[in-house]
Amino acid sequence: MRQPPRDADGAARKVTRRGLLLGGAQVAVMSALGLRMRYLQVEQADQFRLLADENRINIRLIPPARGLIFDRNGHPLAQNEQNYRIVVVREDAGDIDEALAGLARLVPLSGETIERARKELLRRSPFVPVTVADRLSWEEVAEVAVNAPALPGITPEVGLSRFYPLGQDFAHVVGYVGPVSDYDLERIENPDPLLQIPRFQIGKTGVEAKMEQQLRGQAGSKRIEVNAMGRVIREIDRIPGRPGANVQLTVDQGLQNFMQARLGKDSAAAVVMDLTDGDLLGIASAPSFDPNKFVRGISVADYRALTANEFRPLSNKTVQGAYPPGSTFKVVTALAALEQGLVAPEETIYCPGYTEVGGRRFHCWRRGGHGHVTLNESLEQSCDVYYYEIAQRVGIEKISEMARKLGLGTAYDVPLSAVVDGLTPTRQWKRANRGSDWMVGDTLNAAIGQGFVLASPLQMAVMTARVASGRSIMPRLIKSIDGVEQPSGAGTALDIGPTNLTFVRQGMYAVSNSRRGTAYRTRVVDDALQLAGKTGTSQVRNISAAERAAGVVDNEDLPWNRRDHALFICFAPFDAPRIAVSVVVEHGGGGSAVAAPIARDIALRALTGEVPPLRAYPENQRRAVETLFDGLQLRETAPPAPGLSRA
């Protein structure tokens, strides 16, 4: 049937519109393809020609700047310094031996260095740059750059290397960095590609290790053009990485330096805590070492000297050392008895010099005994028999419970290496670990901080801080990360009766300020700075009945490693406590004679912010103290940094 003329005209118009739309779409697609082809063939021609011409474009990672570490006042503790180095890319260098021999003619390379570089080059992927020499002078780098045409695959670079300006003062706290080892890579499930760069440095100990992720940052990348000989022609583009975070610690540089100097050559440790927020103002372990030697590559002789030293300079004794707390633990036993209502402060207990339990004598440190003593006098004079008696009333479970409440037996979450748990023993612990039942004698030994009880100097400082403040203070070492303040360690009120805490504090005050106190000689005469403390002496050997009958051998007559540990804990000022201090001197002898004077000096330095003023000391001691301080090698405290710059 023939369509009417009107319908035919409408169909023709529809066909024409469809044709125009399809044609327009085709033209648009062809135009886009044409523009894209022009862009690729004309504007990007050089780049793609290079990509196709013997793979002359290399992509390399750019290590980020490592985050800096500062003290609480902005003084730098870990910095980055410019480092000139030489890298070799195996696939560009050709004959490795020839390339290394050519380089050795320009810069000093030992046979050991060359062999190590050769092994590293063969072990790594052929396109990975391997650092052959670093910490070169500008003249040496310039000579390599001038001879670059004759050194295929060898490139001088400028990088950053770690530097610790305060050296030994913060070696145990900040730690140090070192090259990534195979052991490091095995421990990481999905290693950052940065770690594959030979001689890339990561934290090995201390804050550097524990905060590696924050300090490391993220890598950047660059594309470089090289010629057929492996010589870098130009850098095509660069994507910058993200530098690591800056970390501010709670420690005070001036106080830390004084603590290290005051500990001197002893094998010792000291901790200072702020009672406001738990900040660790100082945390020193002696002897120390220079962390810069590990960054630059410590010699075999230097490393052997450190590991062979019986004072263990590589160990951070503040958190790694676990010691019998000795009589400092008596504050725990006293509080446990007071809280259970099993002893009254005014009650007297007779001390004849020993207690006999099960046919065995447990001796007081004072052979003739102390006579009748109250709670206050038992702390003041450190009577062992008093604590033997009340420990039998309380039992080990309640004593250990109080110890944990005061912060012992806990591995604190501070970014330091190998933080120990310590030990607050119980009946169950002994059955599980020693395979025997708990004995009454075990309780008596634990009551005076001997036997199985172990605590680190950090834990003893926390214990002191909690007794002084009445709060569950937690130690804090990181003050801020990239300017963001970290949570406070102020804690909440302890579940301990305030009156009972007051009784123990008064006993500690008597230790340092009563004429019969075991630390009276190390008292502070300035009323505004008075200490309250507790001495401790912990045995590391058993004294036989025969030796006791003949006379106990003096510490000075024993080999160093068989002498008693000297301990002292204190808080100050007594009326309005601001700080807590703990000191342990390994095999130092008596706590009152050795540890207490150190703790007093450190406490006064922390309270005054300067070398302790002589007015704080008894008049007859001032000349000796002045001579002591004159002999300390103290750093001049620099003004605080204006800001936490990455420069």
DSSP code string of 330-356 = HHHHHHHHHHTT---TT--EEESSEEE
Whose tokens are 């000689």? That residue is 521
Give residue 562's identity as a one-letter amino acid code: R
Mention every residue, 6+ apart, whose C-beta is less than 8 A from residue 212: 202, 203
Whose tokens are 């024409």? That residue is 16
- What pLDDT does 476 receive? 98
Q: Do the Cβ atoms of 598 and 585 come closer than 8 Å?
A: yes
Q: Do the Cβ atoms of 465 and 571 come closer than 8 Å?
A: yes
Query: Quick one: 253-305+314-631 is in which CATH superfamily?
Result: DD-peptidase/beta-lactamase superfamily (3.40.710.10)
Mention every residue, 6+ apart, whose C-beta is less than 8 A from residue 60: 129, 221, 222, 224
Task: Render pLDDT for 229-270 as a digit per residue (tens, 0 to 9).
Answer: 555 667 777 787 889 999 999 999 999 999 999 999 999 999
Q: Which residues of the chain have pLDDT under 70?
A: 1-15, 17, 40-56, 58, 198, 226-233, 541-553, 555, 557, 637-647
Q: Is 32 exposed, middle or buried (0-12, 13-18, 19+ CB in 10 A)?
A: exposed
- What pLDDT does 579 receive? 98
Can you tell me the distance from the alpha carbon of 342 to that of 394, in angstroms, rounded to the nearest whole number?
7
**Token digits for 589?**
């002898």
Q: Is 231 exposed, middle or buried (0-12, 13-18, 19+ CB in 10 A)?
A: middle
- What pLDDT does 547 receive? 56
Can you tell me the distance from the alpha carbon of 458 to that of 417, in angstroms, rounded to the nearest whole number?
13
CA angle centred on 265, ends 263 and 270, rounded to 5°: 25
Q: At what angle do helices 330-339 and 457-469 cross, to 10 degrees?
A: 40
Strand partners, 537: 566
Residue ranges of the chain that CATH labels 3.90.1310.10:
57-247
Whose tokens are 């697609």? That residue is 29
Q: At what angle do helices 457-469 and 498-513 cross, to 10 degrees?
A: 120
Mention every residue, 6+ apart, whose C-beta is less than 8 A from residue 353: 363, 364, 366, 367, 368, 369, 385
Residue 302: C-alpha distances to residues 203, 256, 294, 421, 528 (Å) = 20, 24, 10, 31, 46
* Of 469, 503, 450, the residue nearest 339 (C-alpha): 503
pTM over 0.75: yes
Can you tell me the distance from the alpha carbon of 200 to that of 515, in angstroms, rounded to the nearest whole number?
60
Residue 379: C-alpha distances to residues 47, 166, 167, 448, 554 (Å) = 82, 40, 40, 11, 24
- What pLDDT does 309 receive? 94
- What pLDDT does 227 receive? 63
% of the chain exceeding 90 in pLDDT: 62
Percentages (nearest 5) of helix, strand, coil residues in the chain = 45, 20, 35
Task: Render pLDDT for 295-316 as a digit per residue (tens, 0 to 9).
Answer: 877 888 999 999 999 999 999 9
- What pLDDT does 646 receive? 43
Sort residue 228 into left (φ over 0), alpha (ψ -120 to 50) or beta: alpha
Task: Render pLDDT for 578-616 as a digit per residue (tens, 0 to 9).
Answer: 999 999 999 998 899 999 999 999 999 999 999 999 999
Q: Do the Cβ atoms of 507 and 486 come closer than 8 Å?
A: no
Residue ranges of the chain that CATH labels 3.40.710.10:
253-305+314-631
- What pLDDT does 647 receive? 39
Mention every residue, 6+ apart, whose C-beta is less than 8 A from residue 497: 338, 339
Q: Do the Cβ atoms of 607 and 573 come closer than 8 Å?
A: yes
Can you tell me the distance from the alpha carbon of 311 to that of 585, in angstroms, rounded to the nearest whole number?
11
% of the chain exceeding 70 in pLDDT: 88
State the chain's mean pLDDT as an integer: 88
Q: Do the Cβ atoms of 418 and 316 come closer than 8 Å?
A: yes
Q: What is the CATH number of domain 57-247?
A: 3.90.1310.10
